[in-house]
């Protein structure tokens, strides 16, 4: 293991780090938002969708990759005065540690409260995002600590944009039997499709959906989560995509967000308490 910090590269005009274990897998993380913009398992193609029109700039969210959502999800609270999807994805994080092993590589980035976050949200917080890559596997772990005197509720998510060959031909297994809220149609329903198919726009929050499998031709991608019990399934579909400045008109056809989230029941951290949530992606076949 080596703990020295490697030189940063530039991606989307922002400082970034590429982690590469000797097995040929790699991931690239921006300091902006601690945003993973690329993940290639050993011997396989890119697994994440990054919009060719994505912009990474202070105060802006990158379209694609893995945005880190904290402490509010979308505009659902717990503090609705915050920017949509919270504060973490639009701020510059600090690279804290890089570890290079024989069979994995790992980087940890940190974000602490400062004057600009306290102007929006008057709480002390410490966030760590640890990205580990190994052969066919990506682990993304978000850790939150409350170093301050007040108790605060929060929502969190790893808003993963998966690259897909064609949205209309992929299947997502593991949602059947899960209760979901449909953000487009309203109401709550129980999913009864063992293999969910997609035709265009979708925006749903599934409860207790922590073991999913994406099937995309011969590709099998396991999507697992720990302490992030909800799965948000999102695609803007053709009409909304056409209105998004940072997406190509046909971008919706080659992406599907499968987000590991803690949103239906926000968490709470008292003074000196900590919380950790994780999403793991494993490419079972390419
Ligand atoms: C999803 C939400 O998580 O993110 C959608 O469920 C939202 O409602 C989407 O449209 C994208 O949000 P944003 O802020 O990145 O455009």
CATH of the domain at 245: 2.70.98.10
Q: What is the pLDDT of residue 50?
A: 99
- Cα–Cα distance between 85 and 37 in angstroms, integer? 18
Q: Say yes or no: CB of residue 230 within 6 Å of ligand 1.
A: no
Residue 59 Cα to ligand 1 midpoint, Å, equals 16
Site to probe by mutation for ligand 1, drawn from 35, 162, 234 as the one with most ligand atoms within 8 Å of Cβ, is: 234
Domain count, the chain: 1
Q: Domain limits at 57? A: 2-285
User: What's the confidence (pLDDT) of residue 4?
Assistant: 75
Q: Please give the pLDDT value at position 6.
A: 86
Question: Cα separation of 61 and 74, whole Å?
Answer: 13
Check if 201 is active-site. no
Residues in the chain: 286
Could you say which residues of the chain have pLDDT below 70?
1-3
Whether 53 is a known active-site residue: answer no
Nearest Cα to 49, choosing from 61, 37, 60, 40?
Answer: 37
Q: How far apart are the first and last CA of the chain?
A: 29
Q: What is the pLDDT of residue 19?
A: 97
Class of residue 226 by CB neighbours under 10 A (exposed 0-12, middle 13-18, buried 19+) = middle
Phi and psi torsions of 160, nearest 5°: -70, 125
Report CA(7)–ligand 1 centroid distance (Å). Answer: 33
For residue 251, the CA-to-ligand 1 centroid distance in Å is 15
Cβ–ligand 1 contact at 159 (below 6 Å): yes
Would you say the pTM of this structure is higher than 0.85?
Answer: yes
Whole-angstrom Cα distance, residue 198 to residue 171?
Answer: 8
Closest residue by CA, ligand 1 atom 16: 63
- Bridge-partner residues for 128, per DSSP? 110, 143
**Which of 128, 136, 191, 259 is labelled catalytic?**
259
| CA separation for the pair 286, 270 (Å, rounded) | 43
Kindly report the backbone phi and psi dihedral angles of residue 239, in degrees, each rounded to the nearest multiple of 5, phi listed first: -70, -50
Residue 182 near ligand 1, beta carbon < 6 Å? no
């Amino acid at each position: 293991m080596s703990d020295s910090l490697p030189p940063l590269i530039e991606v989307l005009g922002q400082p970034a780090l590429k982690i590469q274990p000797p097995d040929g897998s790699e991931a690239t993380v921006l300091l902006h938002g601690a945003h993973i913009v690329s993940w290639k398992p050993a011997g396989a193609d890119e697994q994440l969708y990054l919009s060719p029109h994505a912009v990474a700039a202070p105060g802006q969210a990158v379209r694609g990759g893995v945005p880190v959502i904290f402490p509010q999800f979308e505009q659902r609270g717990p503090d609705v005065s915050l920017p949509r999807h919270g504060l973490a994805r639009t701020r510059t994080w600090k690279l804290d540690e890089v570890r290079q092993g024989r069979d994995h590589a790992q980087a940890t980035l940190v974000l602490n409260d400062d004057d600009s976050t306290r102007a929006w949200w008057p709480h002390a917080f410490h966030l760590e995002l640890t990205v580990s890559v190994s052969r066919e596997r990506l682990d993304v772990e978000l850790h939150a600590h409350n170093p301050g005197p007040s108790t605060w509720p929060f929502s969190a998510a790893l808003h993963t944009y998966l690259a897909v060959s064609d949205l209309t031909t992929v299947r997502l297994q593991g949602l059947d039997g899960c209760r979901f809220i449909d953000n487009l149609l309203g109401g709550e329903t129980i999913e009864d499709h063992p293999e969910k198919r997609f035709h265009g726009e979708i925006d749903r929050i599934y409860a207790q959906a922590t073991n999913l499998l994406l099937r995309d031709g011969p590709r099998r991608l396991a999507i697992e989560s720990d302490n992030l019990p909800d799965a948000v399934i999102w695609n803007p579909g053709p009409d909304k995509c056409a209105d998004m400045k940072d997406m190509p008109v046909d971008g919706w056809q080659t992406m599907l967000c499968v987000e590991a989230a803690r949103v239906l029941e926000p968490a709470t951290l008292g003074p000196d308490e900590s919380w950790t949530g994780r999403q793991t992606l494993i490419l079972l076949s390419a």
